Structure formats: structure tokens, C-alpha cells
Chain A
Amino acid sequence: MAHLLPFVPVPALLGFVILSLVPVPLSRAAVIALGVGAAVLPAILFFPVGLSCIEGVCVAGAVVPILSIDTGVFVAQIAMSMDPLSMVTGGTVVLVGALVLIYSGAYMASEPLPDLRRFFAVMNLFLAGMLAVVFAADVILLFLGWETIGLCSFMLIAFYDKLPKAVASGRKALITTRVADSFLLAGLMMLFLNAGTTRLDGMLAAVPGIDPWRLAPIAFLIALGALGKSAQFPFHTWLPSAMAGPTPVSALLHSATMVAAGVILLARLAPLFAAAPEISAMVAMLGILTAALGALVALIQTDVKKLLAFSTMSQIGFMVLALGLGAPAVALSHFAIHAVFKSLLFLSAGVMSHAAGGSTAIESLRGSRYRQPLAFWSFAVGAASLAGLPVITAGWYSKEAVLAAVWSSGPWGVPLWLLAATAAVLTGAYAFRVVFVAASQTADLAAPAWGGLAVVVPLTVLTLVAVIGGLSVGALIQFTGGATVHTPLLPTLLGAAAPILGVLLARQLVKHPQELEALAKRMRHVRIFRFEVLYYYYFVRRFRRVATVLGNAEGTEAVADAVALRREGVDVPGLVTDDPLGRGASQVRGIRTDLITRATDGQTPVVRMVAGDPVGRLLIVVARLFVGFFVARFNPDRIDRAWMGLAGGAGHAWALVRRTQTGRVRDHSLWIALGCAGLLLFAWGTSWR
């Protein structure tokens, strides 16, 4: 079935081409059918390919060559891998992609037709790009997909483009990931120059022959690229902003697949990182840092989408941690399980917030259990899986594998494990905070009927996988070439207790809401939590702070636009306050653009100065001075004066000569006499000799 593999991304690409480039008017139903169909077909095409794994076709290093182009400069070998890694990640992407697009068919149905078409076109292009990343066995296909999904991410975050904040968030995401991507490109180029081939397996085979001093920078650059795409510290600020996109986009791109591309890349290049242990250590440190910080910040979010965004950061931190510790198989199993439960969380949160009038504030979800029971219970299952409730959820199995890998990772294993377990407690707390709020009763339970098969099917399938998927974790790890680690009983038990502790904490927080507020307030003063405040203010809100100080008049207009849009029933995530300390940050401040945006819009003094093209101006000014200097020397033109002076002299000469021309007869006779005398004198003189 290997020959089917190259065709898996093709339907998605065709969907994009038809929807965006073919200028044929399509009806609403046709657009939805095309868009959804183009996402479901890859899943159907992938099915036989995945089945062939049972026959043992998918072994480590299995590659399907597609074409080889000798450009004269280098040989570009395009190929797709058919190894366990690409099968697991590819299977996850096609499954989640198909389900999220089915869901979008209902979720986006009320958008105007051109916007709907744009949405499905870009979603399909994204899916094609993501599949290229997942299946790529060469750097060309990999980077092609890598950048395509970055651009699609920008287009989709900026989908509600009438909101300045949405476009600004999209640009922020694209610019931040591009910074990381340029590091990645540098690393890949250096690897290519050292290995002399564009095939990834060839590059990895060449790794042992590369001088360690050269290998470390390469690994460092590639790691930075992967961390940027995966929104890991210090590149993470774009992910919370990215929630300005529609909910299906957040579910597919900014939780399940695109942000995990870094994990896939690190796993694929695992031998490279094994050869550069110091870089692996750095990756692990950044992973655990992001995991802990993300969980901490998620705890005090007031917006469910923002909460899930920080949660994604944190969970990917766990995967990156496992990768840094040299356990790619464990990371991949957590990737697969996380993709399922995180998209489930986003999709069910989308249904709940739709029933709550479009607001994504956690408080407005109150009573969802009665308004939207299916969505609520799906969310609860997703949250349980995210928290990792022992035995009954899939999340427990994969997170347990990560924790086990951490425990047994050498001298630093136990402290790292403690940090990771703390993050797991916090994960339980923030996940169930939303569940408990949504389960509580309110007076207002009138809910608009919304849903249908397009919502029920994805939610049900994802819920089922989020429960029973745990059984496959052991098999997944073995399939992708990892060894099952047997940990002692104590860490296993403690690891199982952590999420339960978290749930209890959440119960307390929700029962006494003032306590969360007090906690947030206390966290500002308690020295140990100062870190969080520092983190928030100096990494997440830093740009916004500066922008606030500098002042920005556009903010109020933007809010007016946003309020008007929400009144029309458009989901406006940008409007939601995102002050972690619950002090009711003004909506105006929420919509203020940050320094990156302002700088890139030419609104800061430095950029304004550069925009004036100082070098070009300087050259012109210098040229003017230069010309002025010399022109002054020759102005008035001295040679011209000399000629003019000559002309003046001629005039004077004329005045002198004219006196001789009197016209009188006596003067003429005098001249004649003088002439004759002169002639006679001359003749006399010549006859002398």
C-alpha cells in the first residue's frame, strides 16, 4: 500500500486549489461539502496505508521515494517516510483533521459565503502542509510544509480580519515562528552542507561523521526552530494570542497538530540530538520550564480558550521534556493522545460557549451541564484525560510514560520528576476548574438548539478515543521503537495521586471563588509565586505594558468595532479580558496592540526614523552639500565672466574707434594726406640702401 502514501495529502491540496483559485461561484452547501470532503478523503486514503503496518511494511527507516531532481546545483530527492513515526503522527493528523473539519461544517455555517470559502480553502491547505511535514523524508518537503502551515496559521488567526487584534495576533504568530524558522533553516542548511544530501535519513547517517563542534550549533539551531513552532519558552507568547482565530482553528492548528510539529521534528531527528547531549539537556530544561509555567498560568486564566492555550503549551512542554531526555517514542504517544483530548476540549468548549451566547469567558459557561449536556460531558472526559485521572483515561497512560521516562533519566531524574508532578497537580486543578464551573447551576438555562450530526459525531468519536485510547499507549510506544520503562511503585502511585489532588484543589477553588482571586492576589506578594508574576508581566504582557505607556488611540475604535460585531453574533475572542489577576482589566487595554505590532506598523519612533530611509537621505544631503560647495566656487561662472569681459572690451574698443569716423571732408582729406605722407616716407626709406 506504499504507493498510496504520496496521494494522502493530495485531496486536501486539491480542495484548496478548487476553493481558492478556481473562479467558479459555489453554493454554501458545495463549499462545505468540498471543504469537508477534502479533509475526510486523506483519512480514507490513509486507512489502507495504516493497515499495511499490520503486515509489517512500516519499519524504522522505510521511505517511499517520490522523485529525484538533479538541478545541476544539487540533487533534490523528494521522499516520504513510511516508518512508525510518520504512521502514528500521520494517523493522528488525518483523524483529528477530518473530525475538526466535519465539526467546522456546522460551526462556521453562519459565516458569509466568501468567508466560509476562504476558511475551508485555508484549512485544506493547512492540512496538506501538515501532512507534508508529517510524512516528509527530506528537508525540501519538510520545510515546504513547515512554512505553509505557518502561513495558514497566520491566515486563520486573522480570519476575523475586521478586528485589528485578530490580524495583529496573526502577524505576531507568523513573525515569532518565522524567527524560529530562520534558525531551523540555518540548521538544516548547515546539516545539508555537511551531509551533502537532502534526504533526512542520509543526513542522520552522516551525523556520526560530523565534528562535535559543528554538530552542536546545528542541533541548537534546529532545536530553536522546533521550539518556536511548538510555542515553547521563550517563543511562547504567540500561542495565547492565536486564540483570536475561530474555535475549530484553535482545535486543529493551535493545539492538536501545528504546534506539535516541533515535537515531530525533534522526534524525527532524535539521533542528531542524541549526538549532542548538551543541546538535548537544554531542550529538556526548556520543556519542563514551559510545562510548569504553562500550567501555573493556565490556572488563573479567565477565558477558557486562553486556558486551553496555556495548557497546550504546558502539555507540549511534557513532550519536549521527554524528547530532551531521549525518549521520542514516549513523546510521540503523548502527542497522539494529547491531540485527541485537546481537540475534544476545544470542540466541546466551542459548543458550550456557543450556547452561552458566544462568550468564551469561563464564568459564562456556568450551567452548560444543563444547556449542552453532550458538550459538557465530552469536555469533562477531555478534562479528565488532560488531568490524567488514573486508569480510566488515556491521558494517564501517556503522561505516566513521560513521568516514568523522567524518573529513570539519571541523576537529575528525581528533581525533574518532582517538578513535572507538580505541573501535573496544577493540570488537574485548571482542567477541572472549568468542569466544575460548567457543572454548576444558573438561573438562565434557555439554550439555543445547536448541534446536529456534524457536532455529535466528532465529539463522540473523540470522547471514545480519549477514554479507550489509553489501552494503545503501550503498543504505540513499542511500535515507535521505545522501550517500556518499569518504574518503582512509589512514583507510579504518587503520579496517579497528583491529578486527583489537582481535582480536589479545583473543587476548593470553585466552591470559594474568592479564594482563587485571593490566591491570585497573594501570588503577587508571596515571594515564591513572585516568579509567576514576573513571568507574566515580563514575558507575556511586557509588550502590552510598553504599548500602554506609549498610548494608542486606535484601541477604543477597535473595541467599538468588536462590540458591534459581537452584537451581530460573531465570535469575538479578542474582546475577552485576559487579566490573570482577575482585576477586570479594561477591555480597551485588552485590545491594545503590543510593541511588536506597533513597531511593525511603523508607529514607534525608532521605526518611524528608519522608515524615513536615513542612509538614502544622507546620500542626497551629502550630494547636495557637495554640489553646493562646488557650485558656489563657480557661481558666478568666472570663465563666463572672462568671455563676457572680453565682449565688454570689444564694446569699449568700438567706442574708441568710432571717434575716427566723423564723416567730415576735412578729416578725410587729412587722413588721405597722412596716408600719402606715410607711403612717401616708406618709399623714401626703402630707396635708401
Chain B
Amino acid sequence: MVAHLLRLKAILLRNGFRRSPWQLVGVAAAGLYGLFLVALLFMGLFYLGGTDPGFAAAVLVPAVSAAVLGWALLPVLATGVDLTLDPARFTTFTVRPWELVAGLLLSGFIGVPGLVTLFLFAGQALAWRQVPAAAAVAVPCGVLAAVLCLALARLTTTAASALTASRRFRDAAAVLLIVPLLGLGPVLTVVVAGFEDALGWLPRAAAVLGWTPLGSFAAVPADVAAGSWGTAAVRLALSLAYLAAVVGLWKRTLERALETPREGPRGGRTASGLGAFARFPATPWGAVAARCLAYWRRDPRYAVAILAVPLVPAMMWVVAVQAGSTALMLWTGPIVAVLLAFSISADVSYDSTAFALHATSGIRGVHDRLGRVAACAVFALPAVLAAAVLPPVLLGEARLLPGVAGLSLGALASGFGVASVASARFTYAVPPPGESPFKNPPGAGMRMVVVQLATMWVMGLLLLPPLALLVAHLVTGNAAFGWAGLVAGPALGAVLLVAGVRLGGRWFDARVPELMQATVLNR
């Protein structure tokens, strides 16, 4: 049975490649990146092996703890790193629980993250190579710690699945969870800034973590290296107890999930009237705009983009304070503009196969493009204006206002133009409707990254003229450059917007069936 499940996982992975070669490229890229990471960290482990054992423990225990914590939390945030073997799918089979537990657990090793963790954890032996006994203990301890990672990931996702089964909860959680994720950057800079003190607190942290489930396995070899066999034995027993507890708990939640299969809660909000459909003009493009606006409000995948609007200034502020220069805040407007314009560049991919309604209605490409831009512009325009006007005014740099505003508005308009072309031609796999915004189809990464980077680059290139004017203003102090930017930015943006919608519309008209089939493939 266990072998069966492992084979199933491998077959699912392989069949995924047959569906789309891009997936293979994505996994290969992830694999290469994983290999690179493993090589790099192995060098680190080797280096640690040449240092004082106390220092090695002080580094390894917190590092392993962080990895274990990541395994426990990240899958919940991303609603499951891997749902190819969703326990709910085994509801109708009579699989003995322990076999299912072992099979699902070990299947986690078939995949890049699982393998990398396994190798790295077992590789801790390298750091203990001066004490052969410790190195010998490190290998099984590392493997067991890797199993603990997978079990923790399964436990937290299964436990959370009861909550996440409700659509409303999923929608809300998906949006709220982006806050800590986006905040991670500034937090990390603070942590890195405090790294100098790290040598002071790391040993203490290691000592504490070594007794928690997070780091206990990693601390066993350190005890052996220090010659305290008694402590090592106690700690190993404790670690095994932790592992047994986690696996046991997971088995219980799994059994409960299998006995009472989750059912989608029904009901939900009702709305009378037509909402945005009553406010936009009763034309095809107006209808598309109204529909997109409803999605901006109700689909968490879009809400994530909206949430970025208040977060960008917040993050810029953190960075600006650290850099000691508030001038950085002046770039908030252009950045918010590019982000919002960029957010409609995958619109057809986000429609998924519901795009069939557009395809069968024979809507003109120009109207389709225009509607999507209009929906986003409804809130993007005020947001960008605020982001462009407020920082210069509040910072007492009102003289820069024309240049910044021109650049921001130009960025929004030309960004819309680029996005209108991109979404008519370059589709890629995105999280399907109703799923977490962070749950990307496996291996979708490569094509997505290429398309997104290319789109961003084109947007940036087209922004060079107003950007140059703003920089000229900053360098020369001649306000005329700023005013020129206020005219040039929106004017150039308007031209690019019209051109983008036209070109995107023409491509759309020519490629409706191909777009449709792309959404079918990405499903």
C-alpha cells in the first residue's frame, strides 16, 4: 500500500509533465535551484565541521528549527504545498489508516522541497565529521527530523482544512495572510541588521530550541559530540516522543476527516439588484468592466493586488527609515501605479475556462480589453493619485509634485496598455478560481516568471521618458523639467494605452480560440 501511494505520487508528477512541457521546465528549474541550494549549504555544513562543536550546535539547532517551523506554517499559508494526494480523495477506499499515514507521509519526499530537506538534514553529519560517533548519530536524526517536517506539514494542513473548507474563510484568510508575507521583507532587514548581536544570543536560543520539537533532533549529535551520552539519550527519547505525538495527532485528524468527509458549506450572502452592472454603461465593454469590478471585490486573487496598495507605502516607509532618507517615499506613486496596472496582465488566465462566455459571445477584442482596463482604473486612478500626491506634499517637497504625478499617471496608463497586450497573448497557469492566491500549479513557475518579467521590463522601458524628466528635475533643480513631466507622462501614457488596447484587441480577435484552449490547458 505504501509503495502504491509512492508510485501514485510519482505517476501524477510524471503525467503532469505530459500535460505541459512548461511544467517539466518549472520542476527542472526548481530542481536545479534546489541542487544549488543543497551544494551551497553543504559547503556551509562542511565549514561548520571545521569549527568548534559548540558553535556548530549554536548554528545548526536554530537553523533546523527554522526549517521545521517553515514546514509547519508555510503549507497552511499556501493551503497545501501539495494536494496531489489529498486525503479526502481516499475517503471511498478502505485503506488501513497506518498504511495511508505512512504512504502519504513518505510521498512528501517525492518532490523538490522534500528531497532537499531530507538531504540537508541528513547532511548535518558533515558538520560533526570530527566526532565520528556524533556524525553517525546525525544521519538518522536528520532523516527523522525530515519526517517530522512532513508530518508537521500534514498535521497543520489537515487541522486547518476544517476551517479552510468554508469559502468565505478561505477568501478572507487568503487576503489576510498576504500581510505577514509582504511584511516579511522589512522584518528580515531588521533581523539581518541585528545579526551582529546574533553570536551573543544564538547559543542561548540553541539551548532552548534544543528541547522543543523544533530543534531537539538537531541537538542530539551535539550532546554526543560533547560526550554527554546521558543527555543525548534523554533528548533522543524526547524527540521520538515528539515525532510520535505529531504523527499520532495527524492520524487522528486524518481519520476524522476520512470518516466525515468535508462538504462545502452552502448558503452565503445574497445580493439583490445588479450592483456594478447598473452603474456602468450598458455596452459590451461596460459589462466587462462591471464584471471585472465584481471580481476585484469578491475574488481573493484580485484582492491580494488591492492589498498591496496600502502595503507598498508602509514597506517603503520602513525601508526609508532604515536608509535614513525619506526621499524614497517619493517613488510610492510610480510603484503603486506599475503594480496595479500589472495586476490585469493575467486577466484572461484568471478568467480560466469561464472565458468561454466571452469566446462564444463574439465580443470585440477592443471592448474586452477596454472593459478590463476601465474596471481597474476605477480604483487605481484615485489610489495612484493619492500615492503620487501625498508623499511630496507631506514631506514638504511639493516642488517635485508635477514630475512625480506625471510619472505616476504615465506609469498607470502605459502599464494598462502593456497589460492589455500581454493578457491577450501570453497566458500562463495561475491559481484557479476559488483557490488560494498562493497555490500555483506545480511547475507553472517558469513560464509565469518569463512572462511577468518581460511584461515588467516593457513597462519600465516605456516609462523612461517621464522618468528621465523627473531625474533631470532632481539633478538640475530646474522646475521646468517637472512640469514637462506632468505633460509628457500622461500624454505618452494615453498614446500607449490606446495603442495597447488596439493591438491587444486585434490579437484577441485573431486568437480567441487559442486563448480559450490555453485556459483549458491551464485548468
User: Is the A/B pair a real complex?
Assistant: no
Chain A residues packing against B (C-beta within 8 Å): none
